[in-house]
Amino acid sequence: MELYFLGTNAGVPSLERNVTSVALRMLEERRTFWLFDCGEGTQHQILRSPLKLSKLEKIFITHLHGDHLFGLPGLISSRAYQGGEDPLTIYGPVGLKQYIRTCLELSESHISYILDIVEHEGGLLFEDESFRVEASQLEHRVTSYGYRVTEKDLPGKLDTAVLESYGIRPGPLYGKLKRGQSVVAPDGRILHASAVQGKPKKGRIVTILGDTRPCESVLTLARNADVLVHESTFLHELKDTAHTYYHSTSRQAAEAAQQAGAKQLYLTHLSSRYKYEEQLIEMEQEARALFPNSIIAREHVLYDVERTVY
């Protein structure tokens, strides 16, 4: 898994940064990517990226402010022209369906693929054999959600030397053992998966938040996360401004990562007042003073989501 930031600015785009959108690329895990928020211009950012709209599987909208969803109508329409034939599911707060349907109907946009719009009020949104996605409401001027993506643990590597001693070669029996099932060897011996499997690979947790003040839901969503993507609209000297407008500072983001036991913090949703590199460095250093693994998210950079080793 890798994170790819398509927009890191708050409110409006600037010459330096686009408005909010971040991709979770999962080419190895499911040959797709998921998108979190879709500010205006996101599809243009994708054109400049290694991402392909045809591989977009899911979109998660945190809230209905324009800098987080004005890019949706164009992206939805363009996806079909860029080879997108598989179904696309979009999750978000109540009102999202009306917004999308109205835009598509009034513009007479015709979508050739299945578009499923899921309005939610938090809780478990999606689960399959590999991933689980949960949402909780944050504290913002409008209903805003954070998302917690949990990758399930993967089975450990098979010991091929032991398998050969049982006369078992790559094939269907390998698959059963990987799934934790016992098998019967060619000589009639029963072989249990636990005897030939290494330690499982621990699944990763990625938490991506919408706009928010510090609140308990942030800590719940970010608990033991491998990666936390947290808004950092202001430096802490403007903490009162942040509170008034229901946002967070870089220090508050670092406090959340520290308290939740997260492993890596990415700061995004930066006020357009911070235009210069030295200002971004100051914001990063402010967070690192509390939480050393803090990084200002840069657009068009791939960030690996590292796996914890048991």
Q: Judge whether 221 and 232 are in contact, CB under 8 Å.
A: no
Residue with tokens 């699944």: 203
Is there a binding annotation on residue 269?
yes
Is there a binding annotation on residue 153?
no
DSSP-derived 3-state class of residue 41: coil
Across the beta sheet with 32-36, the strand order is: 115-119, 88-92, 56-60, 32-36, 21-26, 2-7, 302-304
Q: Judge whether 112 and 141 are in contact, CB under 8 Å.
A: no
Is there a binding annotation on residue 211?
yes
Is there a binding annotation on residue 68?
yes
Q: Judge whether 12 and 67 are in contact, CB under 8 Å.
A: yes
Tell me the C-alpha distance between 106 and 115, whole Å.
17
Is there a binding annotation on residue 63?
yes
Is there a binding annotation on residue 243?
no
Residue 67 annotated among the catalytic residues of the structure: yes
| Residues pairing with 184 in the sheet | 190
| Residues pairing with 268 in the sheet | 231
Is there a binding annotation on residue 300?
no
**Interacting residues of 129 by C-beta distance below 8 A, sequence separation 6+:** 152
Given 37, 67, 86, 153, which residue is catalytic?
A: 67
Q: Active-site positions?
A: 67
Annotated binding site: 63, 65, 67-68, 140, 211, 269
The binding site for Zn(2+) comprises 63, 65, 67-68, 140, 211, 269
